[in-house]
Amino acid sequence: MGVGKGTTARAFAKEYGVYNIDTDDLIESKENKEIKKIFEKKGEAYFRECEQQTADWIEKCVTGTLISCGGGFYKVKNLKKLGTVVLLDASFEWIHNRLKTAKNSKQKLAKRPLFQDQKKAKKLYGEREKAYKKVADVVVNVEGKEMEEILKEIAKKCKI
């Protein structure tokens, strides 16, 4: 969380004239509940089922679209059938530092149940780091880069 998936996806869509969708937004819309509430009322396992359903829908129905996803979405069974997987990479410290200074970061953190506790969040990052790199087709390090540079690198590496 917080590496900039949503912000980058929106900027990329604008620059390259494609549509973008976000799996967290799709789930909130389908469930008619914020993610925080889904975790509270139905639990994480239910949220993960929602992610798998979303992946199944994407596989069946979505083409030519940029998809930003939740931090745990990489675990869906059919990830590699959905398209080119781009990892926006940055260290935990860098992400955390930017979140501390970003103007909407308090709201952002409040919305994400798995990031309420910094120690636990760091542990989760450590557990996922290798798995993210394993599933990624393309890795773009975003630390200290301007958005323009990030977008160009994504486009070049994805041959767009």
Ligand X SMILES: Nc1ncnc2c1ncn2[C@@H]1O[C@H](COP(=O)(O)OP(=O)(O)OP(=O)(O)O)[C@@H](O)[C@H]1O
Q: Could you tell which of ligand SKM, ligand X, none binds residue 52, using a CB distance below 5 to 8 A set by kind?
A: none
Q: Is 64 annotated as a binding residue?
A: no
State in angstroms the smallest separation of the CB of 17 from ligand SKM. Answer: 26
Identity of the residue, 4 or 71, whose beta carbon is nearer to ligand SKM in the bound complex: 71
Q: Does 71 bind ligand SKM (CB under 6 A)?
A: yes
Q: If you write DSSP's letter for every residue of 39-82 in order, what string do you get?
A: HHHH-HHHHHHHHHHHHHHHHHH--SEEEE--TTGGGSTTGGGS
Q: Does 113 bind ligand SKM (CB under 6 A)?
A: yes
Q: Is 71 annotated as a binding residue?
A: yes
Identify residue 135 by its one-letter amino acid code. V
The pattern of x and - marking residues 11 through 30 that bind ligand SKM according to CB under 6 A reads -------------x------
List contacts with ligand X (CB under 6 A): 1-7, 24, 68, 70-71, 98-99, 102, 104-105, 108, 112, 147
Which residues neighbour 153 within 8 Å (Cβ) at sequence distance 6 or greater? 140, 145
Q: Which helix (H) or strand (E) holds 10?
A: helix 5-16
Buried b (16+ CB within 10 A) or exposed e, 146-157: eeeebbebbeee
Annotated binding site for ATP: 2-7, 112
Annotated binding site for substrate: 24, 48, 71, 128
